[in-house]
C-alpha cells in the first residue's frame, strides 16, 4: 500500500523546480506584507505600495505565461495570440469597474459610463447588462475567453490546422480584436479603453490596503493556477497532450480524438489568461485595445522561451525576469528596450534553447557529474 | 474486377467469416494511381502477409483502412457490415483496428511504461483521462506485455533512447495492450537482427491465434517463417495470392520484381 500523501505534495513530488517556485512565492507574499504593512515607511526595508502593485502586475504576467506554457510547451501549439484572452478577461473586469463608478463620473450620469455620455449613448448597450454584479463579471472573465478559445479551437483543430498556419491565425485573432476594440461604436470605449476606476467591491482602488489585497490575490491566483496546471500535466490527459505534441498521428491511431484534447487545453489556458487579465486591470488602472496588440502576444512567447518552456515555473520566471528588465530599461532608456528584447530573444534561441531553467539544469548536471566522477575516483583509490 | 483473374483464390466475401473486405478500392495522388481497384479479403484470425516492390501501395492500403487517407472509390468493410470509408481515424481505431507504422512511431519523450499506459484499451474520452487512475489490473497487463516484448528492464527508459528494433517491439507492445481485433503491421522487422526477427515471427504467429493480423514485409525469410498466405501487391492492385512458394514461382511476380531491379529472395 502506498503511503497517503496530501494532494498538493503529490502534485509537486517530482517537481523540484515547482517546490522552489511555490516556496519563493509564499515567502514573497509574507515578505511583501511585512515590509509594506509592518516596517515603518522611514525604514529602508519598507516596500512602498506602488512597488507592491508593480510586483502584483508581474505576478499576473507570470500566471499568463504559465497558461501560455501549457499550450506551447505541453501541447506544442505556438500561440501568437494569447494576449487576446488576457485582454478579454481584462475588459470583463474593466466593465465591472466602470459600472462601479456609478454616478461619480465626470458627467455624473447615473447609469452610463463617461465615454458613453461623450459618444451620445442614450441607453446602456445590452452586453453591459449584468456587469454591475461582481459575480457576473467574474463569470464573464472565465466564460468570454473560454468561449472564444472554444469556438476558435473547434474550427481550427477540427480542420487540422497546425504549425505555422495555426500560429498565424492566432495572431490574426488578436489583431482582429485589437482593430474591433479600437472602434468607438463597439461600445468598449474605443482607443481610450476603460479607465478612471474608483473602487472594487466597495473598496477604494487607490487605498494602500486594497492594493496590497490585490497583490495577495494575484499571488494566490498564480499559486492555484500553477497547481491546476500541474494537476493537468500529471494526469493521463497531460501525458496525452505531450504525446499529441510529439506524434499526433500515433495518438489518433490509438483511437483518441486529438482535437478534443487540444480544445480542452486551449480553453483552460484561455480561462487562466482571462483571470490574469482580470487581476491585471485593477492594478494598472486601465485596459485599452493596446492589450490586444500582436506585439504583446509575441512578448509573452519570449517570456516563456526565456524562462524555459515545458516546465511551467520556467514560464513564470521568464515573465517576471523580462518584465523586470522592461520596467528598468523603459525608465532608463526607453528607445533601446525593443532592441534589447529582440536581442534577448535571439540570444536565448541561439544559446539557451531550453531557457534559463534549461541552462541551470545543465550547469547542475555538469556539477553533479564531476562530483560523481570525483567520488568514483576516490572509490577506485580505496 | 480483372485483377482477380491472376489470383489462385478469388476474394469472395463470405459474411460471418470476414474481418476485413476491401472492395474495389482506388486512390490517386495528383493523378497517380497509388491504389487501383484493389480488392482483398481477410478472414477472422487469419495471418496474412502482404509483399510487393517499393511503391506498390502497401502502406497506402493501410492508410486507407485506418482512415488516414480517404479512397476515391470502393468500400472497406470491417467485420460484417461496417463501412470504414466514412469514419474518422479515431473511430476506426476504436472499432478495433490497431496499426504499427512503417517508421517506428512511439512517443519518444515518454517512458516505455507510459507509452504502454497511453495505449491501454478503453478510456479514450477527455475528462476520464483527467481523472484517470491506473488500476492494479492495468498495471499487471502492462507488465505482462513488457515481458512479452522483452522490455521489462527498460520500463523507465525514455522510448527515444531505445534501439530501432526495441522501438519496433514497443510499438507492437502498444498494439498488444490496445487489444484490437485486427492488427496492421507495417514492416515490423526492418532494422532487426536475425534473432530479433525470429522472435517477432513467433510473436506475430502467437498473436494470430486470437487476432487477425496483416503484415507487410520485404524480408522474405521472415515471410517464409510465418508460413502463411501471401498477397503480392503491384501498382496498387493484387498481382498474385497464395502460399509463398506458389507466388515465388509465379512468372508475373518474378517479372515484376526483376523489372523493379529487386529480387524475391
Ligand atoms: N500522401 C501521398 N502523396 C503523394 N503520393 C503518395 C502519398 N502516399 C503515397 N504516395 C505514393 O504512392 C505510392 C505507393 O506508396 P506506398 O508508401 O504505399 O508504397 P509501399 O508499398 O508501402 O512501398 P515501400 O515498400 O517502399 O514502403 C508511392 O509511389 C508513393 O510515392
Ligand atoms: Mg510502405
**Residues A253-302 pLDDT 10s:** 999 999 999 999 999 999 999 999 999 999 999 999 999 999 999 999 99
Give buried/exposed letters for B150-184 (b at 16+ CB in 10 A, else e). ebeebeeebbeebeebbbbbbbbbbbbbbbbbbbb
A residues 205-234 closer than 8 Å to B (CB): 232
- Give the span between the Cα atoms of A86 and A273, in whole angstroms: 5
Q: Calculate how far, in angstroms, residue B88's C-alpha sits from the geometric centre of ligand 2.
A: 21
Whether residues B130 and A237 touch (CB distance < 8 A) is answered with: yes
Question: By percentage, how much of chain A surpasses pLDDT 90?
Answer: 80
**SS3 category, A257:** coil
- Give the span between the Cα atoms of A186 and A125, in whole angstroms: 10
Cell for B109? 519523450
**How many angstroms separate the CA of residue B37 from the nearest CA in chain A?**
25
Q: Calculate how far, in angstroms, residue B37's C-alpha sits from the geometric centre of ligand 1.
A: 16
Q: Give chain B's mean pLDDT.
A: 90
Cβ neighbours of residue A222 closer than 8 Å, sequence gap 6 or more:
A25, A59, A60, A62, A63, A66, A316
Counting Cβ atoms within 10 Å, is residue B6 exposed (0-12), middle (13-18) or buried (19+)?
middle
Domains and CATH numbers, chain B: 6-102+179-257 (3.40.50.300)
**Residues B153-199 pLDDT 10s:** 999 999 999 999 999 999 999 999 999 999 999 999 988 889 999 99
Counting Cβ atoms within 10 Å, is residue A193 exposed (0-12), middle (13-18) or buried (19+)?
buried
**Residues A43-98 pLDDT 10s:** 989 999 999 999 999 999 999 999 999 999 999 999 999 999 999 999 999 999 99
Contact B175, B98 (CB under 8 A): yes
Q: What is the pLDDT of residue B1?
A: 36
**Residues B196-214 pLDDT 10s:** 999 999 999 999 998 999 9
Q: What is the pLDDT of residue A7?
A: 80
- Strand partners of residue B216: B50, B186
Q: What is the mean pLDDT of residues A13-33?
A: 93
**Residues B123-144 pLDDT 10s:** 999 999 999 999 999 999 999 9
Cβ neighbours of residue A42 closer than 8 Å, sequence gap 6 or more:
none
Q: Name the pTM for this structure.
A: 0.92
Nearest residue to B27 via CA among B18, B19, B36: B36
Out of B58, B72, B184, B257, give the residue to mutate to test ligand 1, the one with the largest number of ligand atoms within 8 Å of its CB.
B58
Pairing of β B82-83 and β B182-186: unpaired
**Residues A357-376 pLDDT 10s:** 999 988 988 888 777 665 55
- Top pLDDT among B127 and A13 is at B127
Contact B192, B221 (CB under 8 A): no
Alpha carbon of A105 to those of A19, A102, A355: distances in Å?
46, 7, 47
User: What's the start-to-end Cα distance of chain A, in Å?
Assistant: 41
Q: What is the mean pLDDT of residues A181-198?
A: 94
Q: What is the pLDDT of residue B7?
A: 41
Residue A236: what are its φ and ψ, rounded to 5°? -65, -30
Q: Which long-range contacts (CB under 8 A, 24 or more apart) does B250-259 make?
A: B250/B6, B252/B6, B256/B53, B256/B232, B257/B53
Q: What is the pLDDT of residue A134?
A: 97
A334 interface with B at CB cutoff 8 Å: no
A382 falls in which pLDDT band (50, 70, 90)? very low
Residues of A whose CB is below 8 A from B125? 260
Residue B37: what are its φ and ψ, rounded to 5°? 50, 50
Q: What is the pLDDT of residue B14?
A: 60
What region does A180 belong to: left with phi over 0, alpha with psi -120 to 50, or beta?
alpha
Q: What is the pLDDT of residue B191?
A: 84
- Give the span between the Cα atoms of A367 and A74, in whole angstroms: 28
- Strand partners of residue B182: B97, B212
- Ligand found nearest the CA of B50: 1
Amino acid at each position: 500500500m502506498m503511503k497517503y500523501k496530501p494532494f498538493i505534495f503529490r502534485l509537486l513530488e517530482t517537481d523540484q523546480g515547482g517546490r522552489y517556485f511555490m516556496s519563493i512565492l509564499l515567502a514573497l507574499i509574507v515578505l511583501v506584507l511585512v515590509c509594506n504593512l509592518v516596517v515603518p515607511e522611514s525604514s529602508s526595508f519598507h516596500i512602498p505600495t506602488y512597488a507592491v502593485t508593480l510586483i502584483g502586475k508581474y505576478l499576473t504576467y507570470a500566471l499568463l505565461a504559465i497558461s501560455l506554457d501549457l499550450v506551447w510547451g505541453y501541447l506544442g501549439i505556438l500561440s501568437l495570440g494569447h494576449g487576446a484572452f488576457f485582454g478579454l478577461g481584462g475588459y470583463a473586469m474593466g466593465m465591472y469597474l466602470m459600472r462601479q463608478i456609478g454616478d461619480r463620473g465626470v458627467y455624473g450620469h447615473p447609469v452610463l459610463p463617461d465615454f458613453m455620455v461623450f459618444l451620445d449613448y442614450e441607453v446602456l448597450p445590452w452586453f453591459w447588462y449584468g456587469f454591475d454584479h461582481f459575480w457576473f463579471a467574474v463569470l464573464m472573465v472565465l466564460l468570454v475567453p473560454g468561449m472564444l478559445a472554444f469556438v476558435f479551437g473547434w474550427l481550427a483543430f477540427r480542420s487540422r490546422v497546425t504549425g505555422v498556419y495555426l500560429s498565424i491565425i492566432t495572431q490574426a485573432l488578436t489583431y482582429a480584436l485589437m482593430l474591433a476594440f479600437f472602434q468607438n461604436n463597439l461600445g468598449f470605449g474605443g482607443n481610450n479603453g476603460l479607465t478612471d476606476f474608483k473602487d472594487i467591491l466597495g473598496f477604494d482602488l487607490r487605498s494602500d490596503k486594497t492594493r496590497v489585497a490585490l497583490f495577495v490575490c494575484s499571488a494566490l491566483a498564480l499559486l492555484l493556477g500553477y497547481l491546476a496546471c500541474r494537476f493537468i500535466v500529471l494526469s493521463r490527459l497531460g501525458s496525452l497532450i505531450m504525446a499529441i505534441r510529439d506524434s499526433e498521428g500515433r495518438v489518433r491511431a490509438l483511437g483518441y480524438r486529438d482535437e478534443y484534447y487540444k480544445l480542452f487545453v486551449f480553453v483552460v489556458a484561455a480561462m487562466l489568461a482571462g483571470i490574469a487579465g482580470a487581476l491585471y486591470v485593477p492594478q494598472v488602472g486601465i485596459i485599452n485595445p493596446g492589450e490586444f496588440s500582436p506585439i504583446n502576444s509575441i512578448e509573452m512567447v519570449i517570456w516563456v522561451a526565456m524562462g524555459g518552456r515545458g516546465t511551467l515555473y520556467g514560464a513564470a520566471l521568464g515573465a517576471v525576469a523580462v518584465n523586470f528588465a522592461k520596467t528598468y530599461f523603459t525608465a532608463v532608456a526607453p528607445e533601446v528596450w525593443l532592441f534589447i528584447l529582440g536581442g534577448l530573444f535571439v540570444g536565448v534561441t541561439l544559446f539557451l534553447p531550453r531557457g534559463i531553467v534549461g541552462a541551470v539544469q545543465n550547469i547542475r548536471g555538469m556539477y553533479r557529474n564531476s562530483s560523481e566522477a570525483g567520488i568514483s575516483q576516490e572509490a577506485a583509490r580505496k | 474486377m480483372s485483377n482477380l483473374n491472376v489470383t489462385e483464390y478469388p476474394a469472395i466475401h463470405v459474411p460471418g467469416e470476414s474481418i476485413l473486405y476491401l472492395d474495389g478500392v482506388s486512390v490517386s495522388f495528383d493523378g497517380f494511381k497509388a491504389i487501383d481497384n484493389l480488392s482483398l479479403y481477410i478472414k477472422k484470425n487469419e495471418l496474412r502477409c502482404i509483399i510487393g516492390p517499393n511503391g506498390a501501395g502497401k502502406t497506402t492500403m493501410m492508410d486507407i483502412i485506418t482512415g488516414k487517407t480517404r479512397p476515391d472509390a470502393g468500400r472497406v468493410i470491417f467485420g460484417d457490415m461496417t463501412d470504414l470509408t466514412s469514419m474518422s481515424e479515431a473511430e476506426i481505431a476504436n472499432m478495433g483496428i490497431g496499426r504499427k507504422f512503417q517508421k517506428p512511431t512511439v512517443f519518444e519523450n515518454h517512458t516505455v511504461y507510459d507509452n504502454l499506459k497511453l495505449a491501454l484499451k478503453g478510456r479514450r474520452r477527455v475528462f476520464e483521462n483527467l481523472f484517470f487512475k491506473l488500476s492494479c489490473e492495468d498495471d499487471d497487463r502492462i507488465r505482462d506485455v513488457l515481458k512479452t516484448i522483452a522490455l521489462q528492464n527498460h520500463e523507465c527508459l525514455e522510448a527515444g533512447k531505445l534501439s530501432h528494433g526495441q522501438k519496433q517491439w514497443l510499438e507492437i507492445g502498444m498494439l498488444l495492450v490496445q487489444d484490437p481485433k485486427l492488427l496492421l503491421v507495417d514492416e515490423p522487422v526492418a532494422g532487426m537482427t536475425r534473432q530479433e526477427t525470429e522472435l517477432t515471427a513467433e510473436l506475430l504467429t502467437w498473436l494470430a491465434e486470437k487476432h487477425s493480423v496483416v503484415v507487410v514485409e520485404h524480408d522474405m525469410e521472415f515471410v517464409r517463417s510465418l508460413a502463411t498466405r501471401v498477397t503480392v501487391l503491384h501498382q496498387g492492385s493484387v498481382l498474385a495470392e497464395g502460399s509463398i512458394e506458389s507466388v515465388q514461382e509465379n512468372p508475373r511476380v518474378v517479372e515484376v520484381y526483376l523489372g523493379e531491379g529487386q529480387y524475391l529472395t
